Amino acid sequence: MTGQGWELVGAPNARDLGGLVGADGRRVRVGQLIRTPALGRLTDEDLPVLAKLGPACVVDLRATTEITVAPEDRFAGEPRVVRLPVHDPEHPVFTYVSAVLLGHDLDAYAELARQGTAGAMAAIYRWFVTGESARVGFAEAVRLAARPENLPLLYHCSAGKDRTGWLTVILLTALGVDEAAIRADYLRNNELTDSLRAVIVEAMRRRNPELDVDAVLPVLEVRTEYLDAGYAEVRRVHGSFDVYLRDGLGLTDADLTALRAQLLE
């Protein structure tokens, strides 16, 4: 992981958002905002690295149904764990991602594949903007990040790319980071998880030689079109990201001022 001086073998797309340039040319403080996938696959060697990062608070964006079937998160120390489920039980993408990551049978998701998993992923990003549990969960995560007792703050979902990715968009936008830098961080997921993706696809292909890889890859990757769908929904519903932060998420000027005070150098 170039530039940050650490990596987690069991969470290859984990990264520190520190160093990005935010409002008034001030940089995001290093070691305070850490995005990861679920921590259940951390290795024994990862735990001392996590201990050094020292998260005071861990935000888990998964639903209980996802948590119960996944390996238990591994921690170093005893961080406060806050569960803010951003989950739409009506949308099979969430279950599909978990099934892919856990190696479960995918026959039940044939309809999703017919619909087109790339299209379904874009639909989820639109839901991130308007869905009730998304609005509540993302807003509370921002408020947690604005309080010093919760820093460093580590946050994750299952794969650490979609819900975690959109929360990162929200946090960095609120901190004044420009959209090009936000997009670059978002798209880094693919290079960081390239070898992991290959392992997952190969394992799935061994179980099912008829596997339609084109139906699986969209849930293992991040794509510009997904992020575009989220941004477009913000503009459609709220007109601007600033209005989305305030009206969509209910964040106050005090919330946003506190966030910047804690996280910008």
Handedness of CA 211, 212, 213, 218 (dihedral sign): negative
Helical packing angle, 179-192 and 163-174, nearest 10°? 150
Alpha carbon dihedral 218, 166, 265, 15, in 10-degree steps, equals: -30
Confirm if 85 and 53 have CB atoms less than 8 A apart.
no
Adjacency order of strands within the sheet including 80-83: 15-16, 33-36, 153-156, 57-60, 80-83
DSSP state of 71: P
CA–CA separation, 141 and 57 (whole Å): 10
| Residue 157 is a catalytic residue | yes
Burial label, 22 (beta-carbon count in 10 A; 0-12, 13-18, 19+) = buried
Tokens of 262: 């804690």
DSSP state of 214: H
Distance from CA of residue 69 to its chain's centroid? Answer: 19
The residue from 157, 167, 177, 220 that is catalytic is: 157
Vertex 62: Cα angle to 55 and 72 (nearest 5): 65
Question: Which residues are known catalytic residues?
Answer: 157
